[in-house]
């Protein structure tokens, strides 16, 4: 699997990807926020700096291969995917579908910090009814001190949950149009925004040169999607350890080198047999 090829540094992200599929399938999902909108949902964990995909779980309804930790589908997914990286001091970023105080405490007890936006209606999230002016912060900590809930008023109220941050404001590179002063943002929001949307960026890049074609067979499209993911991961590693190259050119080079190797091997086995295989 991909995680055996590359071991990530501190910060990891967990999110869901949606592989476009328009055919009939019981487990097909509808996620309006995704570019594909309809398709097969795949939970993925990746290294935030390079978008290298470390592992994934394909959503197949009740039979989805996740461990039961008593935290619902979202919590159990987060508890299952990072198993390899628990007890090693990583920090995990998740969106508000996964975020809950119980999950964050569970991960904290396993030496893993977590950060994410949180729904204020989520169970065990304390009520903070303070009416804040723009730029003001209020926060609550759990009794154990493991988790902090922060509410910050920017253009609207922003709710965050973290085991890694404090209620601190930091300067950003953006400036106010009227005063020209540097804008201040909540530190947890700055870090979280760096991870937001990375999965969608990867999906868009893969779709520019993907291997899929129209088919009513979902397993065929899924196989080709995983193949595209493997090529994308190879591109991430090449960018990290090699020279800079556009993904389209890298994809073409992979095909060219693979074909050259395949052709040589076939030629040794016999030209007629090679030609017959290529025609099939």
pLDDT of residue 252: 86
Pairwise CA distance, residues 66 & 76, whole Å: 6
Q: Which of 46-50, 66-70, 217-221, 264-268 has the lowest mean pLDDT?
A: 264-268
Q: What pTM did the predictor assign?
A: 0.84
Do 71 and 95 contact (CB within 8 A), yes or no? no
The 3-state DSSP class for residue 173 equals: strand
Query: Per-residue pLDDT tens for 114-140?
Result: 999 999 888 888 888 888 888 888 888
Residue 20 has pLDDT above 90, yes or no: no
pLDDT of residue 211: 66
pLDDT of residue 71: 84
Average pLDDT over residues 72-84: 89
Percentage above 70 pLDDT, the chain: 91
Average pLDDT over residues 69-75: 85
Residue 267 has pLDDT above 70, yes or no: no
pLDDT of residue 68: 83
pLDDT of residue 12: 94
Average pLDDT over residues 239-252: 85
Pairwise CA distance, residues 45 & 199, whole Å: 9
Q: Which of 96-110, 113-127, 252-266 has the lowest mean pLDDT?
A: 252-266
Tokens of 104: 């964050």
Residue 274 has pLDDT above 50, yes or no: no
Average pLDDT over residues 157-184: 84
Residue 160 has pLDDT above 60, yes or no: yes
Residue 226 burial class via C-beta count within 10 angstroms: exposed 0-12, middle 13-18, buried 19 and up: middle
Half-sphere CA count of 49, side-chain side, radius 13 A: 10
pLDDT of residue 280: 45
Average pLDDT over residues 201-224: 79
Average pLDDT over residues 70-95: 90
Half-sphere CA count of 167, side-chain side, radius 13 A: 16
Beta-carbon contacts of 151 under 8 Å, excluding residues fewer than 6 positions away, are 120, 128, 130, 132, 137, 138, 139, 157, 158, 159, 160
Average pLDDT over residues 15-29: 87
Tokens of 63: 């039979």
Chain center to CA of 4: 18
């Amino acid at each position: 699997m991909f995680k055996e090829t590359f071991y990530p540094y501190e910060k990891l992200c967990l999110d869901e990807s949606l592989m476009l599929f328009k055919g009939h399938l019981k487990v097909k999902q509808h996620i309006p926020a995704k570019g594909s909108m309809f398709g097969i949902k795949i939970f993925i964990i990746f290294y935030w700096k390079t978008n290298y995909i470390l592992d994934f779980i394909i959503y197949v309804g009740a039979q989805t291969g996740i461990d039961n930790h008593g935290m619902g589908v979202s919590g159990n997914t987060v508890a299952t995917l990072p198993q390899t990286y628990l007890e090693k001091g990583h920090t995990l970023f998740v969106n508000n579908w996964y975020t809950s105080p119980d999950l964050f405490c569970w991960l904290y007890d396993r030496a893993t910090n977590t950060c994410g936006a949180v729904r204020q209606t989520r169970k065990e999230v304390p009520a903070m009814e303070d009416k804040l002016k723009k730029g003001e912060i209020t926060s609550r900590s759990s009794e154990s001190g493991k988790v902090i809930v922060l509410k910050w008023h920017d253009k609207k109220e922003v709710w965050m949950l973290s085991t890694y941050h404090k209620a601190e404001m930091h300067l950003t590179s953006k400036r106010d149009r009227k005063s020209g002063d540097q804008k201040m943002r909540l530190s947890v929001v700055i870090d979280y925004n760096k991870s937001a949307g990375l999965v969608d960026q990867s999906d868009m890049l893969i779709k520019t040169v993907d291997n899929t074609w129209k088919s009513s067979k979902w397993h065929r499209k899924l196989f080709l999607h995983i193949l595209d993911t493997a090529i994308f991961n190879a591109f991430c590693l090449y960018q990290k350890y090699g020279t800079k190259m556009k993904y389209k050119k890298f994809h073409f080079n992979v095909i060219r080198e693979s074909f050259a190797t395949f052709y040589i091997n076939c030629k040794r086995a016999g030209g007629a047999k090679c030609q017959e295989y290529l025609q099939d």
